[in-house]
């Protein structure tokens, strides 16, 4: 797969286990975010295929390219990409409209992420951690079969990260397919990973064995 003239992902083959959290790990520029965008249908690979179970989401040889909104993928972007003009409840309702989500169910989802009292606030009226929770609720609103998180906690403090990691562990248990979590943070790896995929220069390689301190080596 290429971005412009530069190859980003080359000859990779990955199986992400369903019902489990896989941490996608590697240095900046290794292709982690590009891979998530390809799975979600936001970037088109130049070759190969992407499947969700038996369902083909993309196949260059077969000419298949399922539209992003039909892939049943929940995505939490690094910059969150919240709609600045919409209140929290309306963000969730809009994201879930294609899955038939009404306001009552949207309120339940906000409650599940700890935002039940903040439904009428816009993103600018929320703290960093609250914005992260709203982004998670919005990603889950469409009843996704898989959940993709692109360094979602990079902008919050250490204490807030701890609480959000716990929330991600809890919410990911309800995802039937894989949860794929991109991070540079070793604490994220240790607390969230049920499987690890290491990307290096656009290729997959086995992670180094854990050191005595439990850290993941690169």
Query: Are residues 153 and 63 both part of a single domain?
Result: yes
What domain range includes position 26?
Answer: 1-72+144-218
Query: Are residues 102 and 43 both part of a single domain?
Result: no
Q: What is the CATH number of the domain that holds 170?
A: 3.40.50.300
Decide: helix, strand or coil at residue 56.
strand
pLDDT digits (tens, 9 = 90+) for 62-90: 999 999 999 999 999 999 999 999 999 99
Query: Are residues 61 and 148 both part of a single domain?
Result: yes
Per-residue pLDDT of the chain (218 residues; tens, 9 = 90+): 555 555 578 778 899 999 999 999 888 888 899 999 999 999 999 899 999 989 999 999 999 999 999 999 999 999 999 999 999 999 999 999 988 889 999 999 999 999 989 999 999 999 999 999 999 999 999 999 999 999 988 878 888 899 999 999 999 999 999 999 999 888 899 999 999 999 988 888 876 544 443 333 33
Supply φ then ψ for residue 140, to 5 degrees.
-90, -10
Rounded distance, CA 178 to CA 189, Å?
A: 16
Query: Does 207 fall in a domain?
Result: yes
Strands 2-3 and 6-7 come out as antiparallel
Rounded distance, CA 188 to CA 151, Å?
A: 10
| pLDDT for 216 | 32
User: Which tokens is 15 given?
Assistant: 């199986």
| pLDDT for 136 | 96
CA dihedral sign of residues 172, 81, 186, 29: positive
Count of domains observed in the chain: 2
Query: Does 77 fall in a domain?
Result: no
Query: Are residues 59 and 96 both part of a single domain?
Result: no
């Amino acid at each position: 797969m290429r971005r412009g003239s530069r190859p980003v992902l080359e000859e990779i083959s990955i199986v992400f286990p369903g019902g489990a959290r896989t941490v996608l790990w590697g240095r900046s520029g290794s292709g982690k975010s590009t891979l998530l965008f390809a799975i979600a249908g936001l970037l088109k690979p130049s070759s190969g295929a992407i499947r969700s179970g038996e369902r083909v989401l993309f196949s260059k040889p077969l000419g298949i390219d399922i539209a992003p909104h039909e892939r049943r993928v929940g995505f939490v972007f690094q910059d969150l990409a919240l709609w600045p003009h919409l209140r929290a409840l309306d963000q969730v309702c809009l994201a879930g409209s294609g899955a038939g989500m009404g306001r009552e169910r949207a309120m339940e989802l906000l409650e599940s992420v700890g935002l039940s009292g903040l439904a009428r606030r816009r993103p600018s009226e929320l703290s960093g951690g609250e914005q992260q929770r709203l982004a998670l609720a919005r990603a889950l609103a469409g009843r996704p079969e898989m959940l993709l998180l692109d360094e979602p906690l990079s902008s919050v403090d250490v204490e807030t990260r701890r609480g959000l990691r716990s929330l991600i562990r809890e919410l990911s248990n309800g995802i039937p397919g894989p949860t794929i979590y991109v991070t540079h943070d070793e604490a994220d790896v240790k607390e969230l990973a049920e499987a690890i995929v290491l990307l290096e220069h656009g290729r997959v390689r086995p992670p180094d064995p854990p050191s005595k301190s439990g850290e993941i080596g690169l």
